Structure 1
């Protein structure tokens, strides 16, 4: 099986590349990307890693005097963490571009009960905490939580789902199509009679395997999945077109109309340009059909495409590296995965220059917006699912601390006309649309100046654990702020803040950090 990263050496003489590939059973270009090197009469066939990740530069330190406002779209993707876990579990340090800090910190369910403030006339609840930074004594960390209202089972609208499944040659293997089928079966088991599923596949061409079928016919849906097998090129663009046709055919007014694209992202026939795909997906989104992506595979995995089309499709991106991850995404978090309660959700935080000198947002690089985008309803942003908790983390330098950037000589400092805001550190504003709405709504919350928890180990479990996760992500991205922090220190911070961990996600994280430390020491 050429899926593994093994070198196959053949003692041949004077054989052409095509014959050599054919002799090894590689008759289809979509079986992977291969390189051949010859040394006299021995030829080596080795699969080349063609995985694609989009580069995002870490958010810089911002002076509050110069840039007092931070604006971004809220995000509920978690795929980066699962993908990085796969790298480390296989004994590899992930490429920095595979690491997105916000997807790390939002991966973990809360491990303790936390008091949240209901924001009036909105589907949101919020909380915040400030504590000293464990990696820089000159700074503090601000953690802001925004949680969407959950729905009762009886309140969940009926779903019209289209499983769009990549069955091309690149999906061959137990960690690809086999895992994909097992994963979708978990979701099928959760379907209700009022839900319906269609199944579309693509390889060299496209096929409607299953017309819209009621969720009560689980055996029929599972049987259709069981019959899938791999082979051929990857006409993903054509597959998307057919999937949207099926979504239109089975569309449910005021229901969930969503395509679940399950693939390694290796489109090589038809529409394959990411910008063209985004344009196509965004047009369908405006008609009420959303798109989520489920990633599988490794060496030819096109994550850059998967993330971007899920973002413009008003869906979310998840990476499935195991059946337990599929259970988390498609069963435990199904409501948050499928049912949107707030569309185009944006956050804007204004920092009080009399309290904060500088700030740096940890993560959310792919969701950054211009300040003027906050009030522009034509700007696409994040979509928040039922019951989903979104965490935002900032590193702050408070007034009185040592600034990273010198004060400007000629910058005029405006004097406050009153002391009305002396007790505020910052001001949080959220803007969102109802799932079927076109005009946004606004809600706000002052973040009060409270004495930061002076010792990091006295902060809440949630703040300490999230800080450890953010530290891990930054260190994997080679951020200089974490250069003097060891993986052992990060593992200790996380281990001391596991709290209730019924699913073992936090304990697994501690082991992952320790393993990373071992891998980096051996290099």
Structure 2
């Protein structure tokens, strides 16, 4: 009996691999500005941390991150700072202002503005109506993508209980509902759905968003938090791929009360630019998950801040006093800048603060008589005379915000005066000094235009001297990152 010839073996399909296609927006760094020409600085508060984790992942590969990947405010705000808590949830956050000499350039000063959100107790937090929107396209095959997504979302599941509802939508070449809305207490069923996910195909992200929002609206909870959580590398290539169209759609859904948070995964074709745009327009945060430890930080240790906002449309406006300040620059927040009249316009969207989160902003100022960066014009106007009683103030800070269920903003304000000033850098609050070390590190990674005389060794020295309480070891890890950057090949820029 003749034997049939054996079927030839199919060649193994190589796993999806891409390199050097990470996409970042690269706005110019905020420059110094003359106070007498432009005394008011306005920006939207930002609690994203994606940049820090991406920088860490790059340095873990002994590769310097591309400068566009470094957003200074996200580096600073990766850490929690010990600001005084607010008295109650009616005024959902406190603010802390300090002034101290700048270590970047002698004769200049730094102004630190910090806020801390009200802590929500687990027993009294709002209910959560969540939809996991998971990218299962071919680009998610890598071990640090879909596999890490499953583990990360499983961690978040443990933070939910029978008050909460959860659905799962997946998308590749097409989108589909993997799990209709179900009680979050049905953990075995939910984990079984997660475990069975596989990657393959193209990326119909827009259709996935549409289906995810539809499920969120189907289970909408007017007394709770309604949120889509997108887990992806950001590679949308089927259907609607225009960032402007996607942003417009997400803004309309935000107006219905459904917010969007983004969890980024992977490296090589990571589309940070799209993910930042989606999160900013969806009233949510953008995080980058490079390890299980980062997943635990974002989705377990800081789950309340990630999921439950205590204030929305948070804006900061600082007016500097021309009698005491000649120049200033806002360190970071380049993608969050607002027009001056946006501050009082409640229709202008801004950032959100989650439960228990701390947010920090730094200004570098040149006091009158200090080392200027911009020379006076021959025919320029004379300095403005300070308002009566304000000669001891460097400026005035105003913070405008809305409570989560309100469309009308509230205002808190505070002077930036000499009562908040430390005579030396070493006498400044430890948290302010640590935030300064992180800002200096970011400036060095971006090319050092504004880092003055600072070196990586200076960053390590300041960070070690201001480490303070570090229960999770994040600050110690930061010091190791700085040392890794010092020894990483300076010409091996990721994506270049």
Q: TM-score, normalised by structure 1?
A: 0.89
In the alignment, structure 2 segments of 5+ residues that lack a partner are 1-9
Residue 365 and residue 299 in structure 1: after superposition, are their counterparts in 2 closer, same or farther (change >3 A)? same
2:463 corresponds to which residue? 494
Contact 1:143 1:393 in 2 (8 A): yes
Match of 2:381 among 398, 401, 411: 411
Match of 2:120 among 145, 151, 168: 151
Contact 1:119 1:443 in 2 (8 A): no
Range that drifts further, 440-449 or 390-399: 440-449
> Aligned partners of 1:448 and 1:186: how far apart in 2?
45
Residue 306 of structure 1 deviates from its aligned partner by 0.5
Residue 248 of structure 1 deviates from its aligned partner by 0.8
Contact 1:64 1:353 in 2 (8 A): yes
2:33 corresponds to which residue? 62
2:270 corresponds to which residue? 301
Residue 118 of structure 1 deviates from its aligned partner by 5.8
Question: What value does the CA root-mean-square deviation take over the aligned residues?
Answer: 1.9
1:4 corresponds to which residue? none
Does 1:271 find its partner at 2:240?
A: yes
> Aligned partners of 1:23 and 1:116: how far apart in 2?
61
> Aligned partners of 2:483 and 2:70: how far apart in 1?
17
1:440 corresponds to which residue? 409
Contact 2:84 2:94 in 1 (8 A): no
Residue 154 of structure 1 deviates from its aligned partner by 2.6
Residue 519 and residue 48 in structure 1: after superposition, are their counterparts in 2 closer, same or farther (change >3 A)? closer
Residue 445 of structure 1 deviates from its aligned partner by 1.1
> Aligned partners of 1:108 and 1:273: how far apart in 2?
33
2:75 corresponds to which residue? 104
Residue 382 and residue 114 in structure 1: after superposition, are their counterparts in 2 closer, same or farther (change >3 A)? closer
1:71 corresponds to which residue? 42
> Aligned partners of 1:196 and 1:246: how far apart in 2?
11
> Aligned partners of 1:24 and 1:490: how far apart in 2?
48
2:192 corresponds to which residue? 223
Does 1:85 find its partner at 2:60?
A: no
Range that drifts further, 480-489 or 157-166: 480-489
Aligned positions of 1:31-50 closer than 5 A: 31-32=16-17, 47-50=18-21
2:13 corresponds to which residue? 25
Residue 431 of structure 1 deviates from its aligned partner by 0.9
SS of the aligned residue for 1:76 comes to: coil
Residue 52 and residue 373 in structure 1: after superposition, are their counterparts in 2 closer, same or farther (change >3 A)? same
- Larger RCO, structure (CA 8 Å, separation 6 or more): 2
Aligned positions of 1:53-202 closer than 5 A: 53-110=24-81, 113-115=82-84, 122-202=91-171
Query: What do the CA deviations read for 1:88-116 (whole angstroms, capped 9, x no partner)?
Result: 11111001110000000000122xx4446
Residue 119 and residue 348 in structure 1: after superposition, are their counterparts in 2 closer, same or farther (change >3 A)? farther
Contact 1:118 1:126 in 2 (8 A): no
SS of the aligned residue for 1:490 comes to: helix
> Aligned partners of 2:355 and 2:21: how far apart in 1?
36
Runs of 4+ in 1 over 4 A off after TM superposition: 113-121, 520-523
Residue 141 of structure 1 deviates from its aligned partner by 0.9
1:15 corresponds to which residue? none
1:470 corresponds to which residue? 439
> Aligned partners of 1:102 and 1:138: how far apart in 2?
24
Residue 25 of structure 1 deviates from its aligned partner by 2.5
Does 1:310 find its partner at 2:298?
A: no
> Aligned partners of 1:23 and 1:311: how far apart in 2?
44
Query: What do the CA deviations read for 1:224-277 (whole angstroms, capped 9, x no partner)?
Result: 101111111111011000101111111111211000000000011001111111
Residue 458 and residue 522 in structure 1: after superposition, are their counterparts in 2 closer, same or farther (change >3 A)? farther
Contact 1:166 1:203 in 2 (8 A): yes
Residue 415 of structure 1 deviates from its aligned partner by 3.1
Residue 119 and residue 55 in structure 1: after superposition, are their counterparts in 2 closer, same or farther (change >3 A)? farther
Does 1:362 find its partner at 2:338?
A: no
Aligned positions of 1:315-464 closer than 5 A: 315-408=284-377, 409-416=379-386, 418=388, 420-450=389-419, 452-464=421-433
Residue 85 and residue 412 in structure 1: after superposition, are their counterparts in 2 closer, same or farther (change >3 A)? same
SS of the aligned residue for 1:165 comes to: strand
> Aligned partners of 2:420 and 2:401: how far apart in 1?
31
Range that drifts further, 99-108 or 453-462: 453-462
Residue 120 of structure 1 deviates from its aligned partner by 11
1:19 corresponds to which residue? none
Q: TM-score, normalised by structure 2?
A: 0.93
Count of equivalent residues: 482
Residue 451 of structure 1 deviates from its aligned partner by 7.4
In the alignment, structure 1 segments of 5+ residues that lack a partner are 1-21, 33-46
> Aligned partners of 1:494 and 1:416: how far apart in 2?
37
